[in-house]
Amino acid sequence: MSRTCAEASVEVDVDRFTAFAIFTEEIDLWWVRGPINHFDSSRLAELRMERGVGGRVLEIYDESTGDVLETDRITVWEPGARLVLRGSVQDTETDVRFEPTGTGGTRVLVSQYLRPGGDPASVGFGWANMLRTFSAWSRRRDTAPRTPREIGRLGLALSYEDPVAAARWLDEVFGLGSWDVDRPPEEGERPGWIEFHVGDSLVMLFQQESAEPVLPRRTHVPWVYVDDLDAHFAHARDHGARIVSGIAVHAVRSYVAEDLEGHQWVFVQARPTQR
């Protein structure tokens, strides 16, 4: 059953006006540039939120040609108190509130919900899901460079029967950490995507898919970012790789192929901003 709403909250050690400014003006610094965190992650050059009622949240691909995507439009702008965003791509509305904690900090609460008549199967709830990265950036922003952090070109996808338990174990036993998503899921959380960072390398945890007993269990899949996905796909296909799934778009352009011994690899179109 598809969700129709999502809520999340965090507390940060800054006053509510600073928290509001971080949320709006520094969005490209706290919204992690992961492979599925944008509508077109493969082409993203900048994420920007314009100020005031009527302001837009934009994925900028090539500003010189006007190649941008408006993802949300601001309907309420109350600095230090409240921000409301109406989805332009998805049928959602997001209500963000900034409440003083009494100790000089701020509690930020995000409620994102499907608008009446919207299709629940076609939406995601990124604003609620990404709130933890806002919290992490708020803690380190005074000493961190004011440039967006890019993930590296090699990542690893791991499949587990219980990804949440695995994430907690990896954090507690191996000390697997992250520069933004710096904690495993809490009790009751069941995210479809759990993300760690080791340096600038991405480690992703997924639910193990059910497989027929005769098939080997596939647990590890490398993700590799390449500059020209179409050329890479053609070269791999023409030189004997078995194509498991052709180029497709799900927030990022990618395809899946097998090597000579049947190991699967995911190749992803790199953003122009990736090193």
Return all residues near 158 (Cβ < 8 A) that are at least 6 apart: 166, 203, 204, 205, 206, 219, 220
Query: Residue 126's pLDDT is what?
Result: 83
Residue 109 has pLDDT above 90, yes or no: yes
What's the N-to-C CA distance of the chain in angstroms? 40
Digit-coded pLDDT (tens) for 123-173: 777 888 888 889 889 988 999 889 888 888 888 888 888 888 888 888 877
Average the pLDDT over 78-86 and give the result: 98
Q: Give 21-60 pLDDT, tens digit per residue.
A: 999 999 999 998 888 889 999 999 999 999 999 999 999 9
User: Residue 1 pLDDT more than 50?
Assistant: no
Closest to 162 measured CA to CA, from 185, 133, 141: 185
| pLDDT (0 to 100) of residue 214 | 41
Q: pLDDT tens across 171-204, in order?
A: 877 777 665 555 556 666 666 678 888 778 888 8
Both tokens of residue 235? 């070269």
Taken in order 236, 237, 242, 248, the sign of the CA dihedral is: positive
Residues 74 and 11: beta-carbon distance below 8 Å:
no
Fold of the CATH domain 154-269: 2,3-Dihydroxybiphenyl 1,2-Dioxygenase; domain 1 (3.10.180)
**Would you kindly state where each structural domain of the chain is located, as residue ranges?**
5-140, 154-269
* Exposure of 52 in the CB half-sphere (CA atoms within 13 A): 1
CATH class of 5-140: alpha beta
Secondary-structure breakdown of the chain: helix, strand, coil percentages, each rounded to the nearest 5: 20, 35, 45
Q: Are 94 and 111 in contact (CB under 8 A)?
A: yes
